[in-house]
Copies of this chain bind each other. A is one copy, B any other.
Amino acid sequence: MQVQHLNQPTETSPYCSQANHPLQGCQQVTSPSPSQSNSVSRMALPETSKYSQGSVLDGVNPDLASERQTASFSVEKLTVWLDGGVEHTRTRRAVVEAIECDPVFSRENQYFQSQNERYEAAVRKAVHLHKKMHEMGWTEDGPEFKYIYRAVSGDIAFLLHRIFKRSILMLGSDQQIAKWIPLATQYQIIGSYAQTELGHGTYLQGLETTAVFDMTTQEFILNTPKISAMKWWPGDMGRSATHTVVFAQLYIHGKCYGVHPFIVQIRSLQDHSLCPGITAGDIGPKMNFEHVDNGYLLLQNVRVPRENMLNKFCEVQPDGNYIRRGSPQINYFTMTTVRISLLADEVLTRLMKACTIAIRYSAVRRQSKLMPGEQEAKILDYQTQQEKLLPPLAAVYAFHSINNYLQELFDRGYREIQRNNFDTLPELHALSSGFKALVTQYCTSAVEICLRACGGHGYSMLSGLPSLYTNILASCIYEGENTILLLQTARFLVKCLKAVSTGQPVPPSVTYLAAVKPGKCPAKNKSDFLCSDIYTEAYQHMAARLIISTAAKLQDLTQSGVKKHDAWNLCTVQLAQAAKAHCHYITVKNFAETVEKLKTEAGIQKIMKHLCDLFALHGIFSNAGVFLHDGYISGPQMDMVTSSYLDLLAVIRKDAVPLVDAFDFTDKTLNSALGSYDGQVYQRLYEWAQKSPTNTQMNPAYKRYLKPLLHNRLSKL
């Protein structure tokens, strides 16, 4: 890993030359830490308020500045490590800079926008990005691509257009690819992906849309025969898409062949009107994602030519003969890769932002006194506040490591699959399902904790935290409902346990099931619990115990005559718990190994070790029951865990601000009145609030309601 040139100033982007006005343009980045440039943000200029002058221009709030003077490690070094190398850091910053100095991508008024306005802005940005990428020479295969989404920060249209393309590339024949991909790439058509229905989500076999083959015309006739069959939720479909891939039950000569994908045009390319037989629209307001036109789609005898069924793996021949070819398992694999990539791109990024906002705010918010007679204390100095914010911070680093691990595993798996070796698929599927559930659930709770830890101000949209929360919450639902995913992981674990007990080989991540031994945790005092072997073994023991005992219950039930499916249902609460425990164990083990490997990076290893310890001990402290249950950890040992855990809070607290600074979010990316680099939180809340339409527009209630009420019997006050 290269860490040279870290303290050199980032070059100013040539694309920012138009930025003369500090309210909109980029800052010249000349300070050692590029983030610092953002401390003079668009809110920096004195405005109407008498309070505006001075405070922000004076620079960083001293309460935040002091936090940065005592960092026990190099923030820049940690940033580079997170990015995976100095080249990546440089590329990322360049992309962020180019995006942020372009006013089209501004999110300045996002919190004030209606659903219609957010949708319009998202389309504007998507269209502009298409142009911008061309100008900048960025391509979908280039090193910059993966940073664009982070830089734009979510509010952008046509993400489903990408899935549309991906599904054609994956499921289409060479001819189909040759026909559709150039059209989509040049935006001569806009695509969507219509799988989910009003009545069916994760259970795809239950989809009710039909595609009946009409041999006489060589067409498929598509219908959504009942209300629950209506396509519901697909993004980009409510108002934008001209085409979509519809998943429907294929019928030939009255026989059903299961779900297949069909390309269907839904809107005219001339005037965007709906095509014959199509009813489509927007599904209305949601908790977030207001910028996306999630849509509904009804099909009434919509005919598409035979060639519109994506036919790489199966085809309907002109005479109605059905042919399946190749392995469909590769599709299956696509779904798992999407789950893994969303963890880093969607989920973890949001928790990182929430931690940045909440921790910076907690370093400048002073409330009440720790010691009578002293100044009011920073709320970050309260143990209860540390207990809210530092475990999520440690989790960011834990999940960052596990993401890398999973990514590597999937890259390796992909290479195997290309060689037609599908052996790793069950393990990869189990891991992607379990970790999708574990990470989204954990991060969602953690963002909520961050929001609440900021008190009333966290509840203001201007803090940025409500949007982060409502956004990340969706990740628990999409790409597979979490409980169902955990049960898929559990099914894999139960199978592996059976294999192990009969001496058959099992995938690497579950070999520990073969080596379970009864016993007790050997820790003698609280410092023993700072040894990663001690806690990793405790997690391993606990996970194995839950898997083994639940599998035993399952077996007991079936042996006592309960039907197999009923028995499964009666064990699902515990099966889901076991699957979570398995993933938790892998996370701890992987984090400990990652820290171990950091030996060469002495500067950051120490703090990473603390974070790993905190993550592990917080997990034991919060799930004490499963560790105490069989006496592996005793009551007195649990007191040691608690003690070590609470001690660590005070240790990591000292580095809390540098640890979030290392995430290297610009103020514009955070878009938070509480989380900016300079910590001028009250100033920003006030200035941003003044821009709200509730202040810039006339009071709609005064003339109509308040005036008649008050003037009804006007007092002589």
Contact = CB atoms under 8 A, between A and B. Distances in A.
A116 B700 contact: yes
A257 interface: no
A130 to B, nearest CB: 8
Contacts of A459: 286-287, 473-474, 477
B123 A701 contact: yes
A708 B272 CA distance: 12
Nearest to A281: B695
Contacts of A717: 183, 188-189, 265, 269
A22 interface: no
B286 A460 contact: yes
Nearest to A459: B287
Contact of A566 (B370, B482, B685, B707): B370
Contacts of A715: 183, 188-189, 269
A198 interface: yes
B368 A293 contact: no
A489 to B, nearest CB: 13
A555 interface: no
A529 B575 CA distance: 23
A695 B200 CA distance: 23
A628 interface: yes
Interface string A476-499: 111001111001000000000000
Contacts of A644: none
A679 to B, nearest CB: 13
A689 B201 contact: no
Interface stretch (A226-234, A307-315, A406-414): A226-234
Interface stretch (A23-31, A147-155, A238-246, A508-516): A238-246
Interface range on chain A: under 10, 10 to 19, 20 to 34, or 35 or more?
35 or more
A693 B115 CA distance: 8
B286 A238 contact: no
A116 B697 CA distance: 9
B227 A573 contact: no
Contact of A382 (B238, B569, B624): B569
B112 A284 contact: yes
Nearest to A690: B281
Contacts of A702: 239, 272
A199 B682 contact: yes
A630 interface: yes
Contacts of A458: 477
B460 A284 contact: yes
Interface in A436-457: 448, 451-452, 455-456
Given A124-B701, A382-B572, A477-B456, A367 B284 contact: no
A562 interface: no
Contacts of A710: 187-190, 242, 269, 272
Given A284-B462, A624-B626, A487 B384 contact: yes
A272 to B, nearest CB: 6
Contacts of A704: 120, 124
Interface string A277-302: 00001111111000001001000000
A695 to B, nearest CB: 5
A371 B564 CA distance: 9
A527 interface: no
A275 B324 CA distance: 79
23 contacts: A51-B226, A116-B693, A116-B697, A188-B710, A188-B714, A196-B456, A199-B682, A200-B367, A202-B367, A228-B682, A281-B695, A285-B461, A287-B470, A371-B566, A372-B565, A383-B571, A459-B477, A466-B470, A573-B646, A623-B625, A624-B626, A625-B625, A631-B635
Given A282-B695, A371-B563, 17 more contacts: A119-B700, A123-B705, A127-B708, A186-B712, A232-B456, A281-B695, A283-B689, A370-B569, A382-B569, A383-B569, A383-B573, A388-B483, A451-B473, A570-B646, A574-B642, A625-B627, A629-B635
